[in-house]
Amino acid sequence: MTAPLIHTRDVAVELGGRPVLRGIDLSVAAGEVVAVLGANGSGKSTLVRTLLGLVPPVRGDVELFGTRLDAFRAWERVGFVPQRATATSGVPATVGEVVAAGRLSRRTPFLPLRRADRDAITAAVEAVGLGGRLGDGVSTLSGGQQQRVLIARALAGEPELLVLDEPTAGVDVQSQRAFADALGGLVARGATIVLVAHELGPLADLVGRAVVMRDGRLVYDGPPLAAFTDADHGHHHHGAPRGTDHVPTVAGPLDPLSREVE
Ligand SMILES: Nc1ncnc2c1ncn2[C@@H]1O[C@H](COP(=O)(O)OP(=O)(O)OP(=O)(O)O)[C@@H](O)[C@H]1O
Ligand SMILES: [Mg+2]
């Protein structure tokens, strides 16, 4: 049996002296597309950042590709798109340069881009709807477009494991569809995807499994239910009042009896 791509055992994280993640047991197998859902502040970003070694757990273990994080070195197999920051202006690079950076781990240093690199960069930029903007400065783009540049950079690296934190927040539906197609292409080539989302939108067809966070715990792990994909609980942006809770839409599956056991 091959090791899961992601495996955690009883992981706990504290931030600012406060427990933020507790008792996280999560395994993700190769080829899965997993959505991480939950209310604002429930720990979704902390979870994915912990999986990538960006936040140290106070207890428990994390393994990627069967290797404990402290020994893991194969970061070229992993892509990450962080949650959109509020202020990212002043970046001097062009769209093409930023996306090309996603190929660095696959390139031979100091040689011109190979055909495969150029093709991957072009495909990635088109996938996020910025095909004509390769030469534009990133700082001239809107916040949503800058986020799409970061997505393109991750796609260009053709990672085996791609982790995205709210990639489609604030992105128009047409761009979401193009992005879903691009992710579908990665999945067809065997990639594994973990994405944080408030609503799945055009990504719903790709997602095979949902995990739901509440107060730092995984409270549901199973098939994505229709309730998750309904847009009727509204687009949820930062700045929305804390305590606005999406979890009631999964009241049924919170029943421990329906919790999926791996
Ligand atoms: N650096 C930090 N120091 C202290 N507390 C933090 C820190 N980062 C996050 N937290 C707290 O940890 C909890 C989980 O935060 P996290 O960002 O993981 O939630 P989230 O589910 O991603 O929320 P959102 O939907 O708003 O992105 C929140 O209560 C947050 O205030
Ligand atoms: Mg978050």
Could you tell me which residue, 238 or 84, shows the higher pLDDT? 84
Domain spans in the chain, listed from the N-terminal domain onward: 6-83+160-258
15 lines ligand 1 (CB under 6 A): yes
Query: Topology of 6-83+160-258 in CATH?
Result: Rossmann fold (3.40.50)
Could you tell me which residue, 232 or 25, shows the higher pLDDT? 25
Residue 203 CA to ligand 1 centre (angstroms): 24
Q: Give the confidence band of 106 by pLDDT, cuts at 50, 70, 90.
A: low
Position 246 scores a pLDDT of 37
45 lines ligand 1 (CB under 6 A): yes
Q: Give the confidence band of 88 by pLDDT, cuts at 50, 70, 90.
A: very low
38 lines ligand 1 (CB under 6 A): yes
- Do 76 and 32 touch, CB atoms closer than 8 A? no
- Listed range (139-148, 203-212, 228-237) with the worst mean pLDDT: 228-237
pLDDT higher than 70, residue 21: yes
Testing ligand 1's pocket by substitution, the residue of 11, 14, 40, 42 carrying the most ligand atoms inside 8 A of its CB is 42
Residue 214 CA to ligand 1 centre (angstroms): 12
- Rounded CA gap, 130 and 121, in Å? 11
Backbone angles phi, psi at 140, to 5 degrees: -85, -5
Could you tell me which residue, 176 or 243, shows the higher pLDDT? 176
Position 237 scores a pLDDT of 44
Which of ligand 1's atoms lies nearest the C-alpha of 47? 18
**H-run or E-run covering 156:** helix 143-156
Q: Looking at residues 5-11, what average pLDDT do you find?
A: 98
Position 107 scores a pLDDT of 62
Q: Looking at residues 190-218, what average pLDDT do you find?
A: 93
Span 134-188, pLDDT tens digits: 999 888 888 778 888 888 998 898 899 999 998 877 777 877 888 888 889 889 9
Q: What distances in angstroms separate CA 206 from CA 9, 22, 159, one per listed residue?
A: 26, 28, 17
Residue 85 CA to ligand 2 centre (angstroms): 10
Could you tell me which residue, 249 or 29, shows the higher pLDDT? 29
pLDDT higher than 60, residue 74: yes
20 lines ligand 1 (CB under 6 A): yes
CB contact set of 28 (below 8 Å; sequence gap of 6+): 4, 5, 6, 7, 34, 192, 194
Q: Degrees (nearest 5) of the Cα angle 250, 233, 251? A: 15
Q: Looking at residues 218-247, what average pLDDT do you find?
A: 56
Q: Residue of the nearest CA to atom 28 in ligand 1?
A: 41
Q: Give the confidence band of 110 by pLDDT, cuts at 50, 70, 90.
A: low
pLDDT higher than 60, residue 83: yes
Span 52-64, pLDDT tens digits: 998 999 999 999 9
Position 96 scores a pLDDT of 86
Q: What is the mean pLDDT of the chain?
A: 81
Residue 138 CA to ligand 2 centre (angstroms): 23
pLDDT higher than 60, residue 117: yes
- Do 163 and 195 touch, CB atoms closer than 8 A? yes
Q: What distances in angstroms separate CA 38 from CA 43, 95, 220, one per listed residue?
A: 8, 32, 10
Position 258 scores a pLDDT of 37
Instruction: Tell me the pairing of strands 209-214 and 217-222.
Output: antiparallel
Token pair of 259 as six digits: 């919790």
Q: What distances in angstroms separate CA 116 from CA 23, 47, 98, 157, 209, one per listed residue?
A: 43, 33, 17, 11, 32
190 lines ligand 1 (CB under 6 A): no
Residue 106 CA to ligand 1 centre (angstroms): 33
